[in-house]
Amino acid sequence: MYKAPRGTADILPEEQAYWRYVESQATALCRLYGYQRLDTPAFEDASLFTRSIGESTDIVTKEMYVFEDRSHNKLALRPEGTAPVCRAYLEHGLGNLPQPVKLYYFAGIFRYERPQAGRYRQHYQFGFEAIGEADPALDAEVIDMAWQFFKSLWLNDLYLYINSIGCRKCRPAYLKSLKSYYSKHVAGLCKDCQTRFEKNTLRLLDCKQPTCQEAAESAPRSAESLCLECGEHFTTVKKYLDSLGLPYQVNHRLVRGLDYYTKTVFEIQPHGEGSQSALGGGGRYDDLIEELGGKPTPAIGFASGMERVVLNLKQQRVAVPDAQKTEVFIACMGEQAKREGVKLAATLRRQGIAVAGALSDRSLKAQLRQADSLGSRFVVIIGDDEVKAGSVTLRDMGKGDQRSVAMEELGKTLEDILRCAQE
């Protein structure tokens, strides 16, 4: 028997209500904040990612799915969503539009990681990017939108962490002081961090190993080594966040895993879990567009893993609307009844009412059980008596009552009740 590849998962019909709920809340939010949808291909030139994410990051060194196609192009399955959006921004001349250009996406993301709860080799991200504006008011707007995304889903007990990791002017000096600090601690660090010490010093700060965390606690802080411009930017972002009443905390160990970030970085985490379980994160990437061949163009974005959001919705027992329920089930007894049932089902569907049933010769009990498992609120029962009388029995499963309705009246009656239920 075949199985889905390790680290991937099927999203079964019973899960879909959660996914559609997250998607619809996200889409509604994007409208409120003025974002438009962009879809990019699942694979890109591998060098787009090596250039942007950084040669020595975990994603590029260990996790990217890289392959050569039959024309010897070196391609990579998308390991994150920001670089493709920037590529599209440049390729389609979106820099000529009024700035900032605000784009959002839902995309499959591929990373060869060690699979565990909430960590997959293929996962889906909802992300948004605002490109072409340097003002700290945009940082606050993006952080607010990310926070409202989770609030609109009724997720509680979340932490909002922010930090500033400076820019290419002030970061080299900070990295130097960080390296000098860690040179005294390197022997006590985990194996991965001993490699990071040489290649990706900033990432030493967010290692999850207890001994590394201890060392990180007393390490020099990026927010205390900012140049004048980055310092003012960070102070202003915090002022805006205060005025919006957002419950943020400055976390000096928050650095994010991709090299392109500058200035503001932020993450949203659920209560009581390790930072492995971030629900979403983002930050500024003021140099990325230029790095990819464009004019200097400041930008900021955010992405959230849909699987983790769904996991948290279940853990917090958030009731999600089930748009997939089949509203009406038609139970038929006998050949003639079935003929009427098939016609009624077709008529109701043409009216936009979801209908199941009118298919089998099973017992009424078995058909009612099926209606129940589909979550149908109404069951239309047709037997010999009903056929003779030109009527059906309409049972309201929620209320437990039933009445007789003329066949030609059924469509209108159901439409009236269902419209009332929506109002």
269 binds ligand AMP (CB under 6 A): no
Shortest Cβ contact with ligand AMP: which residue?
A: 305
95 φ, ψ to 5°?
-65, -15
The minimum distance between CB 10 and ligand AMP, in angstroms, equals 15
Contact criterion met (CB below 8 Å) for 300 and 130: yes
Span from 305-313, 348-356, 357-365, 382-390 in contact with ligand AMP (CB under 6 A): 305-313
d(CA 392, CA 329): 12
Residue 222 CB, shortest distance to ligand AMP, in Å, is 18
Q: Is 200 in the site for ligand AMP (CB under 6 A)?
A: no
- When asked if residue 280 is in the footprint of ligand AMP (CB under 6 A), the reply is yes
Structure token pair of residue 165? 């990791």
Write out the H or E segment, with its range, that includes residue 177: helix 171-183
Site string for ligand AMP, 83-112 (x = CB under 6 A): ----------------------------x-
Residue 39: CB minimum distance to ligand AMP, A: 18
Q: Considering Cα of 255, then 256, then 259, then 264, what sign does the dihedral take? A: negative
Cβ atoms of 19 and 310 closer than 8 Å: yes
d(CA 250, CA 182): 22
**Dihedral of CA 409/415/418/423: which sign?**
negative
Q: Compare residues 273 and 291 and give the one whose CB is closer to ligand AMP.
A: 273
Contact between 255 and ligand AMP per CB under 6 A = no
283 binds ligand AMP (CB under 6 A): no
DSSP letters, 147-161, are HHHHHHTT--SEEEE
Which of residues 51, 102, 185, 308 is near ligand AMP by CB under 6 A? 308
Distance CA 139, CA 132 (A): 12
Among 129, 259, 307, 340, binds ligand AMP (CB under 6 A): 307
Q: Which residue has the tokens 């500024």?
A: 284
Stretch that binds ligand AMP, among 279-287, 344-352, 365-373, 376-384 (CB under 6 A): 279-287
Burial grade of 148 (CB within 10 A; 0-12, 13-18, 19 or more): middle
Q: Are 178 and 201 in contact (CB under 8 A)?
A: yes
Structure tokens at 234: 């960070």
Question: Is residue 281 involved in binding ligand AMP (CB under 6 A)?
Answer: yes
Contact criterion met (CB below 8 Å) for 136 and 300: no
| Cβ 306 to ligand AMP shortest distance, Å | 8
Per CB under 6 A, the segment of 133-141, 202-210, 298-306, 353-361 that binds ligand AMP is 298-306
Residue from 125, 201, 367, 376 that binds ligand AMP (CB under 6 A)? Answer: 125
Asked whether position 185 contacts ligand AMP by CB under 6 A, the answer is: no
Residues binding ligand AMP (CB under 6 A): 80, 111, 113, 118-120, 123, 125, 257, 278-281, 303-305, 307-308
